[in-house]
Structure 1
Amino acid sequence: MKHQFVLDANWYGGRNSEGTIESGNLKTAISIPQPMGGPGTGTNPDEMLLGAAATCYIITLAAMLERSSITVAQLTMKSEGIVDVTNNIFTYEQIIHRPEIVLHAESADQVEKATVLAHKAEQSCMISRAITGNVTITTQPLISIAD
């Protein structure tokens, strides 16, 4: 079975102009971010790649925890994308995921298993697999027990 995703894009000028994209529930303005010399309108490819990687990872992690019968009180995450600029060439170097998994007290014995799954989810995520070899992806989980 194959799934097809279609995105429509419009661009209204040169490098420092703006555009729009639309795909399913995603509809937004786009441009080059201000730190890279653009107008900073809407989102940009760097944020979207980070968003795709983070979304895929956290959904994969949630599914793996659920399948392993680990009861999660809260699952949050911060992700960071690092882009290098050398000789005016932009290279997306690294994505760091920092999931925070809070387990219910009755799951305290499952901290080690949750840690293993936090790292394994990165290898199982479709987006991570798609960019492996081009972007370094690391996971720094923090796992705690709810009060």
Structure 2
Amino acid sequence: MSVWATRAAIHIDRAACAWLIRRSVDPDAVFVFVSDPADVPDAATPFDMRGVRLGHHGPDCSFETILRHYEITDPVLWKIAQIVHEADLDDGRFHAPRGPRPRHRPARTVDDRRRRADPRRHRADLRRTVRVLPPQPATGPHPRLTIPPEPQ
């Protein structure tokens, strides 16, 4: 079992990198999510962070960097890399097609009308319906955050 570390807020590149690591690099990988790069454990391999070997380099996103570093040549993974790149960086490098733009604004909901009519009532409604949990201390990766191994 080896430990891999990345930033806590999961976005497209980080999620795709974790999938790639588990699928093609290290099937027994365990992931640690940190809010500060200084909190990366000494035994962990950091990825998708500033200044690390397996992060963004030049025009590449971290997913592409991992493919290059481990010399993975599977054309399907490289096609996925293009999708991840466009979703993460949106720099037009691969000229990904865009979906159609809406021709008009979507219909307003009853909730939209209530919010404009009386914003204080709307906030009170939200407070009654949304339960906010107190912050929990970090105790390591949650069991559901580790990705199960791919079936053989």
Please say whether Structure 1 and Structure 2 have the same fold, judged by a TM-score greater than 0.5.
Answer: no
TM-score bracket, normalised by the shorter chain, equals under 0.3
Tell me the TM-score normalized by structure 2. Answer: 0.23
More strand by share: 1
Q: Which has the higher contact order (CA 8 A, sep 6+)?
A: 2
More helix by share: 2
